[in-house]
Amino acid sequence: MNVFEQRYAPGQIHAAWFKRGSAIAVLDGSLRLTYRDASLDWLLDAPRVCVVLCEGERHVFPYEAWVEAVATGQRAASAQIDLRPQRRTIAAHVRRWLASSVARLGGMRFRRS
């Protein structure tokens, strides 16, 4: 399991790489997360996402990114971080299987001897 707890002192900036589907839940205090889409790193003025989480709230990252976490307020914050990647749904597996099957059939049909 890739679940662990992290503690943040007030004003401390913690930077970490999160994969798509990772989640962070604030257990105590409040936390500000700032990140941007990693595919837009080549743009210097790419828009950044800023999320403020209070005690008991959870945020799931929609894409891979470097994340800056800062404890806001006068006291330290603690968070539970879940680094497990998001699993594929059954529909995604079926779609992938159909696409590969159709590609194989199409390749056989147009094969020349």
Is residue 108 situated within a structural domain?
no
In a domain, 13, yes or no: yes
CATH number at residue 73: 2.60.120.10
pLDDT at 45 over 90: no
In this structure, is residue 92 part of a structural domain?
A: no
pLDDT in tens, 69-105: 999 989 999 999 998 765 667 777 777 777 777 776 6
**What confidence category does residue 108 fall into, taking pLDDT thresholds of 50, 70 and 90?**
low
Q: What's the average model confidence in pLDDT over 53-57?
A: 95
Residue 12 lies in a domain: yes
Which burial class, exposed, middle or buried, applies to 83 when counting CB atoms under 10 A from its CB (0-12, 13-18, 19+)? middle
pLDDT of 14 reads 93
Distance CA 70, CA 12 (A): 6
Total domain count, the chain: 1
**Per-residue model confidence as pLDDT tens digits over 15-42:** 999 988 899 999 999 999 999 887 787 7
pTM for this prediction = 0.69
Residue 71 lies in a domain: yes
Identify the CA nearest to 34 among candidates 6, 59, 9.
59
Domain that includes residue 80, residue range: 3-87
Domain assignment present for residue 10? The answer is yes
